[in-house]
Structure 1
Amino acid sequence: MDAVDQQSMTGAVIKEYRLDLAQLWLEFVGLGGDASEQLIRDYCAGDAALPAKERDALAQAVNEHCAAVGLPLRAPLSESALFLLQPERHDPERKDPYSSK
């Protein structure tokens, strides 16, 4: 997955659920993340980049938090295949399997 796509999708989950970034940062550090809380805030705002290891630790923290409280959306990992999440970006001619047409 492209780093920018992962960043925007992770940020969207955080924003959608109004997740507490301070709490997420603690969970991120517990999972081996090494970025400062301010850098995580900047990343989520789209103002900074993170290496894949850090992006994945944050996505994992988001996903574990969402799973613990029963929220359905998840943040993608760097190895996620974006075209599986959004088929139209991979192949615009591909039919929607949920469409009745």
Structure 2
Amino acid sequence: MNLFVLISQYLKPQADVDVVTPRHRAWLDDHYRSGTFLVSGRQDPPTGGVIVARAQSREALEALMANDPFVLEGCAAYTITAFTPVKRGAAVHLDDIPLVQ
């Protein structure tokens, strides 16, 4: 399983983003339940958002992200950065990643 940081950039005014936000959050919840998304939130200042995710491949994640209501409505675009974790803290539970105690 690969880990990714996804950073979105809003492409429309905040008022337009706010209209789509409830559908976006419901979509996020589906992917939290599946185990794909680990943590997410709005950037500060609110110019987009950040998601930490895990997926089998970048291609699988790109296909999933194409169905985000923000993307479908033209409200946001994502950059995706893969990374390989080498250690973790106790608050993060990921198999096969060494815990620093």
| TM > 0.5 | no
**TM-score normalised by structure 2 residue count:** 0.34
Query: If each structure's helix is expressed as a fraction of its own residues, which one has the higher value?
Result: 1
**TM-score normalised by structure 1 residue count:** 0.34
Query: If each structure's strand is expressed as a fraction of its own residues, which one has the higher value?
Result: 2
